[in-house]
Amino acid sequence: MSSTAVPKRVALHRNPTTDSSVPSSVSVSPLDSPRQSPSSTSLSSMASEAEKVNNGKMLDTYGNEFKIPDFTIKQIRDAIPAHCYERSAATSLYYVFRDIAVLATVFYGFHNYVTPETVPSYPARVVLWALYTVIQGLFGTGLWVLAHECGHQAFSPSKVLNDTVGWICHSALLVPYFSWKISHGKHHKATGNLARDMVFVPKTREVYASRIKKTIYDLNELIEETPIATALHLLGQQLAGWPMYLFTNVTGHNNHERQPEGRGKGKKNGYFGGVNHFNPSSPLYEAKDAKLIVLSDIGLAITASVLYLIGSKYGWLNLLVWYGIPYLWVNHWLVAITFLQHTDPTLPHYLPESWNFVRGAGATIDRDFGFIGRHILHGIIETHVLHHYVSTIPFYNADEASEAIQKVMGTHYRTEAHTGMLGFIKALWTSSRVCHWVEPSAGTTGENAGVLFYRNTNGIGVPPVKLTK
């Protein structure tokens, strides 16, 4: 099959601006950050020392001092060249048709040429069809990203076109388009806010302790979490994280009774808790959204019906290979991307009294996934910080706009792009080991006490605050 990729865009150097007036903001790895070895001292003594040295400073997990952002959204928007805001329906539709054409061509090629007649070796066919699921999963994720652009109205100037394309593409991937669009919009309005965010809200010290049946005072004394436990947790997150989010709001906030819509009385995250992306009466939505939620459900029903007919006619094992496993790959990439956009040892999270939109939008991080990230996943990994400040900028203008806002953000722009594709994969493991719960830095008061950073029981980085009963 001939290549359908567009001409390669120049990969931008993701390190912050070299302007001497703007300090470097590349996040520091644990190996670069001086810290005491947990093998030579207890967590309790480390915490005591940290409290003495800290003197009220906000410290991320690696011990880097954090300053609350002082720039404004107007400065961010003004720094972006005007043409970056322009949306082209033709350009966006080209990418949709390109991705669908690749998906169809790959299916046609494997269906007709990876057969017992053409590839007699059964192991070889297994390997080739496994490769098929990976390719389809990546381009399926790319199509998912384009529907995500529709949900933010970044696809074109036409809301009708945006929602039509988004509904079709997301429904084909078993995503409730309008339902997710509404909850995702709330995530953007409250990113980093522990009481209102909708995506990967970190556990507080109290919640984490209750999950492992300990008091908040005991966390300092816990033994290190085993790598096997981390691996099992990560496996479950990657396999079931997305459907669990849709069905139970598992990683979203759980303060539904306190939300302004007033529909959360008695409703909690979890199965049968009344919080999901399919019920029009869910507290994730307002009464006026009901028709859109039903329309989302209709889209899922249509796709499910088509899949049932295909499975009935061509066999359920074929359906599993053709659609089911690629669907799991899409879920994996979606969860991995979102998790790593909002989970990192350098990122702050805010209590409501210390949060505002600018601060929360900056509590994200850019990474890099090479050719795949830029040309198949449409840059969703590489320009996410910008996306949280101005979500209507189309992905094909996002590189230039992202470079522009770094001059305003300075040290508050976070990137791990220098670690590349392997660094992205490694970060899944690192964040799972390091980012257990969030708490204020030792000795902080006032507004600073409302800025929380990740701590862990594995003796990595700044130790948890030593609490006295």
Q: What residue segments make up the domains of the chain, in order of their start?
A: 73-343+355-432
In the predicted model, what is the mean pLDDT of residues 112-141?
A: 97
Buried b (16+ CB within 10 A) or exposed e, 2-33: eeeeeeeeeebebebbeeeebeebbbeeeeeb
Nearest 5 degrees, angle CA 396-CA 343-CA 32?
A: 100
In the predicted model, what is the mean pLDDT of residues 203-224?
A: 81
Under the banding of pLDDT at 50, 70 and 90, the label for residue 287 is: very high
Q: Is the pLDDT of residue 31 over 50?
A: no
Percent of the chain at pLDDT > 90 equals: 78
Q: Is the pLDDT of residue 52 over 90?
A: no
Instruction: Kindly report which listed range (42-46, 115-119, 227-231, 250-254) carries the lowest average pLDDT score.
Output: 42-46
Residue 469, pLDDT score: 67
Residues in the chain: 469
Other C-beta atoms closer than 10 Å to the C-beta of 214 total: 14
Residue 468, pLDDT score: 74
Instruction: Kindly report which listed range (22-36, 95-109, 317-331, 446-460) carries the lowest average pLDDT score.
Output: 22-36
Under the banding of pLDDT at 50, 70 and 90, the label for residue 411 is: very high
pTM for the structure as a whole: 0.86
- Half-sphere exposure at residue 221, Cβ-oriented, CA atoms within 13 angstroms: 6
Q: Is the pLDDT of residue 244 over 70?
A: yes
Going by C-alpha positions, the residue among 193, 458, 133 that lies closest to residue 348 is 193
Q: Is the pLDDT of residue 93 over 70?
A: yes
Q: Across the chain, what does the average pLDDT equal? A: 88
Contact status, residue 210 vs residue 235, Cβ threshold 8 Å: no
Q: Is the pLDDT of residue 50 over 50?
A: no
Instruction: Kindly report which listed range (114-123, 361-370, 377-386, 458-467) carries the lowest average pLDDT score.
Output: 458-467
The strand ranges marked E within 56-205 are 58-59, 65-66
